[in-house]
Each structure stands twice: as structure tokens, then as C-alpha cells.
């Protein structure tokens, strides 16, 4: 006998989830410095292993006091920005003289990411949220399953393995803006050498008590004449 009620298999088939990220961005590196927060990311968007897009901005101001950077799926990042636009608009509608600080925005993002993870429909991003409010600097991150923490310096993606050792050795609390930019450039150069998804088009942003500022993209000076680059298999037995 025919029935109009959906079968169990049919109901499962009708449910769609992001099973794998399509267009992705690579590492974001962020540090605290003397006056606020500095953040850096390249502008590449990889379609699988193909570096398809080379002009994607992954650093965005949020409200008056926060700056957001994202690794991972670009369309999910755009969805997160839509959530944040609604959050800031709702906050502004109160018109009570107060505004959401970076800690509040970060807490909101941790709840969003963990909630989507619990629905088995995660947003495939690692997010870095930094900001300054009332003289207090804040820097935190949250990944696609809701794991989150605060630190003095943060790197996502492959940068968590290659940039964090550099930051642990060279970062200090009273870094000037120039010293902070130089440190971020060093980290991004290492990632450019070692990460196949990285592109030599870097954007740096800062946020202080005066607000956020995104600087124009630029290219790093590189040197590819290292012997390990020219003959990477020397000394490796059984290699081609």
C-alpha cells in the first residue's frame, strides 16, 4: 500500500550537511602588543589543492572593539559574519551607551560553534577574536567543535605548528607596533615556505582603543635559494 509519509531513508536523504569544506583559507596569526592587537593572514582561497582565489579578505572588524580572523571554509565565515552583523545591530538598537566588547563577542562565537557542532552541522572554521575595551586587551580563539581559549599569541591551521614556536621565543608584552609587524611577517614567511595553501599576498590589521584598521595587502620578500629547497631529497634513502 502506498503512503505519503516519508520513509526513514527518505528523511535522512533530505537532510543536508556540510560534509567537507570546499573553498578554504589557511592560517591566521595574532598577537597582543603594547597598544592593542595585531593580526595577519594571507588572501588565498584554496579549492581543494588548487589555489583558486587570491583576493579574499579573512580579517574583519566586528562592532567598535573587536577584530575577527578566520581559517577554514569561506562560505561558513560569511555566514558567521551575517550572525555577527545581526548581533551588533541588535546591540545598537538598545541605544544604552554600552557596546559589546571582545570578550562578549568571543563568548558568543564559542556558543555558536559548539551549538552547531552538537547539531552535527558544524561551521568549518577556526576563528581568532581580538580587541580592546576600557584599556583591556583580549585575544581568544575557537575552533569548529567549540574548543576555545585565550592567550597572548594565537595561530590557527598549520601556523599552530610552525608559527607558535617562533611566537613563544620572540614575543614579549611590551612589543611596539613595528616589532609586532616584523614578528608577524617572520611567521607568515615561514608559512609561505612550508604551507602549500599559502599565497604571497598578506594583509595585516590592528585594533586599539581608537578602533580597527586594515592595512593594504603586500607581498613578502622571499629567498628560494636554500639548498634544501633546490634538492629536497638529498640524503633520503629510497627517494626519487
Q: Which sequence positions are flagged as catalytic? A: 18
Q: Helix (H, G, I), strand (E, B), or coil: what is residue 11?
A: helix
User: In which element (H, E) is residue 30 found?
Assistant: strand 28-33
What is each CA distance from 4 to 8, 9, 11, 14, in whole angstroms?
Answer: 13, 14, 12, 15
Grid coordinates given for 37: 592587537
Neighbours of 86 (CB within 10 A): 10
Gap between the Cα atoms of 10 and 13, Å rounded: 5
Number of H helices, E strands in the chain: 7, 13
- Residue 203, classified by CB atoms within 10 Å of its CB into exposed (0-12), middle (13-18) or buried (19+), is buried
Amino acid at each position: 500500500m502506498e503512503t505519503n509519509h516519508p520513509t526513514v531513508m527518505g528523511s535522512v536523504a533530505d537532510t543536508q550537511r556540510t560534509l567537507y569544506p570546499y573553498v578554504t583559507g589557511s592560517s591566521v596569526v595574532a598577537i597582543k602588543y603594547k597598544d592593542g592587537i595585531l593580526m595577519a593572514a594571507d588572501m588565498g582561497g584554496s579549492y581543494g589543492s588548487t589555489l583558486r582565489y587570491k583576493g579574499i579578505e579573512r580579517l574583519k572588524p566586528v562592532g567598535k572593539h573587536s577584530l575577527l580572523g578566520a581559517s577554514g571554509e569561506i562560505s561558513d565565515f560569511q555566514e558567521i559574519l551575517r550572525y555577527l552583523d545581526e548581533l551588533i545591530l541588535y546591540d545598537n538598537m538598545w541605544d544604552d551607551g554600552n557596546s559589546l566588547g571582545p570578550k562578549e563577542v568571543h563568548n558568543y562565537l564559542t556558543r555558536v560553534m559548539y551549538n552547531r557542532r552538537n547539531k552535527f552541522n558544524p561551521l568549518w572554521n577556526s576563528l581568532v577574536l581580538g580587541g580592546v575595551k576600557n584599556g583591556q586587551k583580549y585575544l581568544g580563539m575557537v575552533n569548529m567543535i567549540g574548543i576555545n581559549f585565550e592567550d597572548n599569541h594565537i595561530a590557527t591551521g598549520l601556523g599552530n605548528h610552525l608559527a607558535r614556536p617562533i611566537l613563544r621565543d620572540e614575543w614579549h608584552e611590551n612589543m611596539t607596533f613595528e616589532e609586532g609587524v616584523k614578528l608577524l611577517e617572520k611567521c607568515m614567511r615561514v608559512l609561505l615556505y612550508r604551507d602549500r595553501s599559502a599565497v604571497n599576498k598578506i594583509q595585516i590589521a590592528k585594533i586599539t582603543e581608537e578602533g580597527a584598521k586594515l592595512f593594504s595587502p603586500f607581498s613578502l620578500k622571499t629567498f628560494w635559494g636554500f639548498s634544501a629547497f633546490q634538492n629536497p631529497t638529498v640524503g633520503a634513502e629510497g627517494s626519487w
